[in-house]
Amino acid sequence: MKFEHKMRGNVSFGVNPIGCKQDVLNQIDYVKEQGHYEGPKKVLIIGASSSYGLASRINLAFGAGADTIGVSFEKGPKSERNLGSAGWYNNIYFKQAAEKEGLIAKNFVQDAFSHQTKQDVIDYIKAEFGGKIDLVVYSLASGIRINPETGERINSVIKSIGQNVVGPNVNIEKQEFYEQVLEPATEEEIADTVNVMGGEDWLFWMQALKEADVLADGVQTTNYSYLGSDLNKPYYGDGTLGRAKADCDEKAVHINDLLTDINGKATVIVATAVTTKASSVIPFFPVYCMGLYRVMADNGTHETPIMHIDRTFRDMVYGDKAEYDELGRLRPDSWELDPEVQAQTEALIKEINEGNFNSDKTGYSIFMKEFMNLSGFDVDGYVEEAVTIDDLKALEF
């Protein structure tokens, strides 16, 4: 079977399951190379199948020796033309690797927003996972939420607020550099984006887990955020995405109050800019990454998700190098926001145009390699394997 990668605009189609396997193994190897650290032992990751969620699961399992539960909504293979999603295979190959080392790796492939999923996870914790968990990682990235009470489908949007924003972007499929105009969101769109991408479901999860008495004394919970800099503030920090992230900050306060009697702690982690499937479709963001990645790669500070998450948990959450801001948020994004890095990034972005955006002058090749890796393509160490659709369907998640 041949695996083919295709683009429609900046959206990726196609998956290489064997490449996904190698990418998971590469991330595991990176964590093992950093050595063991003392961390949590029973972990729930909500949004565990890709990017920061997958990196968190890999780091905590192979760095701290944690048993893990992963919740994600993914699709399995149906035919040679429909092989399912990369996250489906990431879940499977993580589970295989973890179980080889005697670790528990339970996958729930269900809607994380639903009440039933929360109850299913709680029942599993009580029956088969030791009864208590000591870390909950909330890393859910979804553009859609089905209201668990009404069944209403709610869609988020990536827009500015109160202003048109004009800036450079790239059409990856057509290899075109162009000027994009981003129109402001309506009040309804803002509210819907906060509903989908804000902190409400994080709070609902922690309330359900607390009520079920499955949280260990001293439990920690984290939620990934992004603030960015003045270079992307008009369309991110000051836009609908920023409004949703601010809601996570507010919900962290409520969760901390909820956990007071069991000495628990909720922390918003302000992460750095990394390559995800969302990174390619956020307006203007690919060009920001092309500038930032080139600067940070040249000074030795560019990080992939696994590198960033390993540093965050190993050195900050469970280490002694934590950096907090005035709102109590953990700030591993300080490397990105270093004034000199931002100044160099701004200068480079001003020089990027239709003639050089995909040249070595920028971080385009870094961005694209990491983007391809998300679907199992262009993965270091990849060796082709002869597999059939039946082989893929027989994989157990």
Q: What is the CA radius of gyration of the chain?
A: 20
The stretches of the chain forming alpha helices (DSSP H) are: 17-34, 51-64, 86-100, 115-128, 187-197, 200-211, 240-258, 285-298, 305-311, 339-351, 364-373, 389-393
Tell me: pLDDT of 389 over 90: yes
Mean pLDDT of 157-181: 95
Q: Where are the domains of the chain?
A: 7-142+189-274+302-334+386-394
**Separation between Cα atoms, residue 368 and residue 290, nearest integer Å:** 10
Per-residue pLDDT at 109: 96
pLDDT band, very low/low/confident/very high, at 54 (cuts 50, 70, 90): very high
Listed range (1-5, 23-27, 294-298) with the worst mean pLDDT: 1-5
Question: Measured in Å, how far apart are the chain's first and last C-alpha atoms?
Answer: 21
What average pLDDT is seen over the chain?
Answer: 96
pLDDT band, very low/low/confident/very high, at 396 (cuts 50, 70, 90): confident
Mean pLDDT of 90-107: 98
- Find, among 337, 276, 205, 256, the residue nearest to 53 by Cα: 276
Mean pLDDT of 182-197: 96
Per-residue pLDDT at 278: 85
Burial of 222 (0-12, 13-18, 19+ CB in 10 A): buried
| Whether 142 contacts 104, CB under 8 Å | no
How many C-beta atoms surround the C-beta of residue 91 within 10 A?
Answer: 29
pTM to 2 decimals? 0.96
pLDDT band, very low/low/confident/very high, at 252 (cuts 50, 70, 90): very high
How many C-beta atoms surround the C-beta of residue 205 within 10 A?
Answer: 24
Question: Is CATH 3.40.50.720 the right assignment for the domain spanning 7-142+189-274+302-334+386-394?
Answer: yes
% pLDDT > 90, the chain: 94
Tell me: pLDDT of 146 over 90: yes
pLDDT band, very low/low/confident/very high, at 234 (cuts 50, 70, 90): very high
Per-residue pLDDT at 285: 95
Give me 174's structure tokens: 């057509």
User: Of 236, 288, 318, 364, which is the active-site residue?
Assistant: 236
Mean pLDDT of 30-55: 97
pLDDT tens digits, residue range 334-372? 999 999 999 999 999 999 999 999 999 999 999 999 999
Mean pLDDT of 42-63: 97
| Whether 219 contacts 134, CB under 8 Å | yes
Per-residue pLDDT at 1: 86
236 belongs to the catalytic site: yes
Tell me: pLDDT of 2 over 90: no
Contacts of 43 (CB under 8 A, 6+ apart): 57, 60, 66, 67, 68, 69, 133, 134, 135, 136, 137
| Whether 94 contacts 87, CB under 8 Å | no
Give me 123's structure tokens: 């029942």
How many C-beta atoms surround the C-beta of residue 392 within 10 A?
Answer: 21
Per-residue pLDDT at 219: 98
Per-residue pLDDT at 19: 98
pLDDT tens digits, residue range 134-145? 999 999 988 999
Per-residue pLDDT at 90: 98
Strands 144-146 and 153-155 turn out to be: antiparallel
Tell me: pLDDT of 213 over 90: yes
* Identity of residue 235: Y
pLDDT tens digits, residue range 72-95? 999 999 999 999 999 999 999 999
Contacts of 98 (CB under 8 A, 6+ apart): 61, 62, 68, 104, 105
Beta bridge partners of 154: 145
pLDDT band, very low/low/confident/very high, at 149 (cuts 50, 70, 90): confident
Per-residue pLDDT at 68: 98
